[in-house]
Amino acid sequence: MNLKTRIQDDMKAAMRAKDAERLGTIRMLLAAMKQKEVDERVELDDPAIVSIIDKMIKQRRDAITQFEAGNRPDLAAKEGAEITVLEPYLPERLSGDALDGEIRAAIKDTGAKGPQELGKVMGALKSRLAGRADMAQASARAKVLLGQA
């Protein structure tokens, strides 16, 4: 079953269970997917859907930071609940060693020789790690590994 079908089935299940919060988050995700399909006139595949979900989770994490800084724990909790609904649709996250292995492979493939060539490495990693790793964490690890290269 592809990811789009799974999300639509989960929406139907949330409707039957009358789970308003889950339903709202899934509808928001489906709306973002539909918007991308209409804008680009394409049928989304799983990697494209994963990138949308990843972007939505990043937006929610940024919002949580802002709400906590603004002393709004109620809104931060709402954003956190949305993240817990979205995360199961992402592929399994890479651990530290697996992430380092992917970064080393990208460094080798691009021929990067130092921290000044981080952009090359991150360009290669973006497609490899879509949804499987936090790109900010990958960037930090790549800087360290490029410094050792």
> What does each C-alpha distance from 31 to 77, 100, 144 come to in angstroms?
22, 35, 38
Q: Alpha helix locations (H) across 18-117?
A: 20-40, 46-69, 73-86, 96-110
Numbered ranges of CATH 1.10.10 in the chain = 96-148
Q: Which residue has the tokens 């989770």?
A: 57
Distance of CA 104 to the CA centre of its chain: 21
**Per-residue confidence (pLDDT) for residue 121, from 0 to 100:** 85
- Give the chain's residues under pLDDT 50: none
Instruction: Write out pLDDT tens, residues 13-22.
Output: 999 999 999 9
Instruction: Write out pLDDT tens, residues 97-129.
Output: 888 888 888 888 888 887 888 888 888 888 777
Q: Which two tokens stand for residue 84?
A: 């817990």
In the chain, pLDDT over 70 holds for what percent of residues? 99
Tell me which CATH code domain 96-148 carries: 1.10.10
pTM reported for the whole predicted model:
0.78
**Per-residue confidence (pLDDT) for residue 75, from 0 to 100:** 96
CB 67 within 8 A of CB 73: yes
**Per-residue confidence (pLDDT) for residue 149, from 0 to 100:** 55
Numbered ranges of CATH 1.10.1510.10 in the chain = 3-89
Q: How far apart are CA 11 and CA 5, in angstroms?
A: 10
Q: How far apart are CA 58 and CA 77, in angstroms?
A: 15
Q: Does domain 3-89 sit in CATH 1.10.1510.10?
A: yes
